[in-house]
Structure 1
Amino acid sequence: MGEPGGERPMREKAGWRRPTVLELLFDLVFVFALNQLSLRLNNDLSAGRQQWFGEVVEAFLLFLAFWVLWLSTVALTSRRSPESLVIQTAVFVSMAGAVVMAVAVPQGFEQRALVFAGAYVVARTSRVLLLLVFRRETTTTPALLPFAVSAVLWIVGALVHDQGRRAVLWALALAIGYIGFAAGFKRLAGAPIAGEHMAERLQQFYLIALGEAVLVSGMAFSGSNLGTPHAVGFGLAFVAIVLLWRVYFYRAGAVLPVAITGARNPVRQSVAVAGTHLLMIAGVFLAGVGFELYIMEPLGRPEPKWLIAVLGGPALFLAGRSLFELLVFSRISRSRLAGLLALGLLLPATWYLPPLAAGGAAVAILAGIAGSDAWRARGRAPELPAPRI
């Protein structure tokens, strides 16, 4: 998946189709990373600054950098033996890079921009060197060129003083890096991939995002005076988390391993499914920030910019979930589209309402979608995947 290397099979043994203990340890770093991003975004939305939209964009770019680092590591371990010392070293290097990036997040677009960008570039570059030197794997110049250009843009962006130019350069670096990453993976079409492993890794990152939402909601409630409005907000957040779990896993999420392994082109299916998970995970992350905001100030004055998280998070999740369902079943449930429309209509309706009211309305829409799923499932045999790819 964009990492230079050969096409030799990996994870052929049955025991290798499940994530290793090292991979699970690697995931724990991203609990810290998402929490750091959540705190940053919460501060951006809570502060009275006029440039808050630009700060939200900056937080999203930092989020995308973590996603690309995580996904490229998963792609590597979905192809090559997890018992290889070189591969284990590559995972440890990625873990170290992610930790340093997470530490830099609070000032990742400001004073610590070079620390953040440097850690990202070192993590990606060292992995390439490990494969080229110790595995003696070769690649073509077109495969390396996007990687090199992306690395240069990260460092140059960190060195410029204007944050607007930095955002443009880093956005371009992410776009080039991700496109090269996806194109490199697709070039290996027909080469073996552990589809069950890829599916489970994507599901685990989704669960990490849900767990981070639980963490920030609990911390927000613990930091309040435990009054009734705060308790109602915490209750709504908990119900929303359960519904986000339910809507994801029914039913496309539950059959994702089969949807990848049963596809005509499992590699291309993996790339497409990973893209939909980016949208869903970003939606859950945003929703978690919204939970924190309306738990802290449930009956405060209306804050329209908070609706980016409170309503935008569930909307982004549903958009990704609809595309995910299309990839798995070659169709989209009407309830998902209706939910997106309802969230759009809620935007003007909740503009002047307290944050808790907007949160309650979003939870009601998610509950309606989950209820529709349960109603359609009555007396029907479980639907089997029908991927087009």
Structure 2
Amino acid sequence: MVAGRGAELLRSATSSRRATFLELFFDLAFVVALTRVSQRFADLGSDTGWTLVAGLGRTLLLFLALWLIWSHTAWITSRYEPERSIIQAVVIGTMFAALVMAVTLPRAMEERALPFTVAYLMVMVVRPLVIAAALRGHPRRLVPFRLAAWAAVAAPLWLVGALGPDQLRLPLWAAALAVDYLAWALGWPLPWLGAAAVGRWRIAGEHLAERYQQMFLIALGESISIIAIVFSGMAYSAERAAAFVVAFATSALLWRIYFHRAGLLLTEALGRAGMPGQLGATSQRTHALIVFSVLVTAVGYELVIDDPFGPPRPTWLLFVVGGPVLFLAARVRLEYEIFGRLPWSRMIGLVVLLLVTPALVRWPPMVGLSVVAGVLALVALLDAWRSRRRPLEDSASPIGRETPGSHGPEA
């Protein structure tokens, strides 16, 4: 009887696998957040040396903090019933905290560090305690308790970093974020309780896959928004118009390459997995790379549209070429997760981009963006050639094939 208390909060087999309107509403806060991340990257366009490296590190850290918040929320609505009032309240509260993080993000490493930190810790520490209380006597209440305990361990690092000297903020926050990510990877182990291995979690795999796909589309939409805003805010020229067209084509190619086969079958793969938590956790890391790569690529659009045939700036290649390189690498990883193979078309694209990058240092930014678009078009054509006259294959993921009972009880 005790185990039944709070059980109504867990997803049932008959629960809808589609994302709710509340979750789509929640994503609006991350549209704002991703815009701020892109802007921080764009501000680094003229930096060099250690200043550039430090700026990239700070922005990456802020992105990873936001991604952790979004990922945890996606798992919550895949594990618990999103139509329950308490879960809806949790999502709304998380949305407000994410919005606070978004509006403070441009100066989160400077004078707005404290409100950014407080909003982050409210989600990481308070939210799991609310869920644990709502679960009442259910055995799975121990999982959110674990989350809160580990977040409390990292909290002093976040707070000291926010309140202490500016030069200590980056290393302290990096250490805190490492604790938060390590805790997830280990299953938030506690003395006498052990770990709650994410791979054994009972989640709605199809729902989680849809949430990853939606976040990718949000990032892609952010890149389209940057193209439009930058081009409309500049004096018209044929060169900028050409850069506008090539940038849009590049985003369209990213969409095509992601959803060709593996991206399209992500929902099926997670739905079929005996242990969807295993595949979901791996895919979470892959989609962090994919979303990040799209944001970096979008910064390249902004830099090129601003001055398509300006003097060569080697640091711009970090965005113009580095973003697509990271995207193809992550897409190779996704292919393995869905089919257990390495796609030769994306491997070819990856190698070509790496080989031509040294030569692009001497050419204007527009040349670099055009080469990237050409390589991505080659990858898309190779995909189409391989798939012609072949039926859509089923997913054959090597991850999460086992059933929960073969590795202990579900968490």
TM range, normalised to the smaller chain? over 0.9
TM-score normalised to the size of structure 1?
A: 0.94
Larger Rg: 2
Residues 147-186 of structure 1 aligned to structure 2 (within 5 Å): 147-163=151-167, 165-184=168-187
**Residues of 2 paired with 1:181 and 1:190: CA distance?**
13
Deviates more, 1:119-128 or 1:248-257: 119-128
Aligned match of 2:270? 260
Matched with 1:3 is: none
Give 2:19's aligned residue.
Answer: 19
Matched positions, count:
383
* Paired position in structure 2 for 1:58: 58
Deviation at 1:188, TM superposition (A): 5.0
Q: Aligned partners of 1:368, 1:127: CA distance in 2, in Å?
A: 46
Secondary structure of residue in 1 paired with 2:362:
coil
Map of 1:302 onto structure 2: 312
Whether 2:118 is the aligned partner of 1:118: answer: yes
CA–CA distance in structure 1, aligned partners of residues 353 and 68 of structure 2: 29
| Secondary structure in structure 2 of the residue aligned to 1:46 | coil
Farther off after superposition, 116-125 or 73-82:
116-125
In the aligned structure 2, how far is the partner of 1:262 from the partner of 1:208? 26
The 8 Å contact of residues 313 and 361 in structure 2, kept in 1 or not, is answered as yes
Gaps of 5+ in 2: 1-5, 189-195, 400-411
Output aligned runs, 1:18-37, within 5 Å: 18-37=18-37
C-alpha deviations, 1:44-70, integer Å up to 9, x for none?
Answer: 223578612211111111111110000
Matches within 5 A, 1:185-224: 187-224=197-234
Q: Which amino acid aligns with 2:170?
A: A
Following TM superposition, by how much is the alpha carbon of 1:142 offset from its aligned partner in structure 2, in angstroms? 5.8
Higher mean alpha-carbon deviation, 145-154 vs 67-76, is at 145-154
Equivalent position SS for 1:203: helix
Evaluate the alpha carbon distance shift between residue 315 and residue 48 of structure 1 in structure 2; reply closer, same or farther with a 3 A threshold.
closer
Output the amino acid matched with 1:177: D
Cα distance, 1:151 vs structure 2: 2.1
**Which of 339, 345, 354 is the aligned partner of 2:355?**
345
In structure 2, how many angstroms separate the alpha carbons of the residues matched to 1:41 and 1:204? 23
Shift of 1:191: 4.2
Tell me whether 41-50 or 260-269 shows the greater mean CA deviation. Answer: 41-50
CA shift at 1:9, angstroms? 7.5
Aligned with 1:78: secondary structure?
Answer: helix
- Aligned partners of 2:20 and 2:82 also within 8 Å: yes
1 CA distance for matches of 2:48 and 2:333? 36
Does structure 2 conserve the Cα–Cα contact (< 8 Å) formed by 1:300 and 1:354? Answer: yes
For residue 278 of structure 1, what is the aligned residue in structure 2? 288
Structure 2 vs 1, CA of residues 133 and 7 (structure 1 numbering), >3 Å: closer, same or farther?
Answer: closer
Structure 1 unpaired stretches of 5+? 1-5
Q: Secondary structure at the match of 2:109?
A: coil
Aligned to 2:41: 41
Shift of 1:14: 4.6
TM-score by length of 2: 0.89
Aligned partners of 1:104 and 1:112: how far apart in 2? Answer: 6
Deviations 1:28-52 (A, max 9, x none): 1111111111112111223578612
Tell me by how many angstroms 1:172 deviates.
1.8
- Counterpart amino acid of residue 256 in structure 2: R
| 1:176-224 Cα shifts (integer Å, max 9, x gaps) | 1122224339625444311110000000000000000001111110111
SS in 2 for 1:44: coil
1:242-274 per-position Cα deviation (integer Å, ceiling 9, x unaligned) = 000000000101011111121232110100011
Give the direction of change, closer, same or farther, for the CA distance of 1:7–1:377 in structure 2 (3 Å limit). farther
Q: How many Å separate the matches in 1 of 2:198 and 2:291? A: 26
Deviation, 1:146, is: 2.5
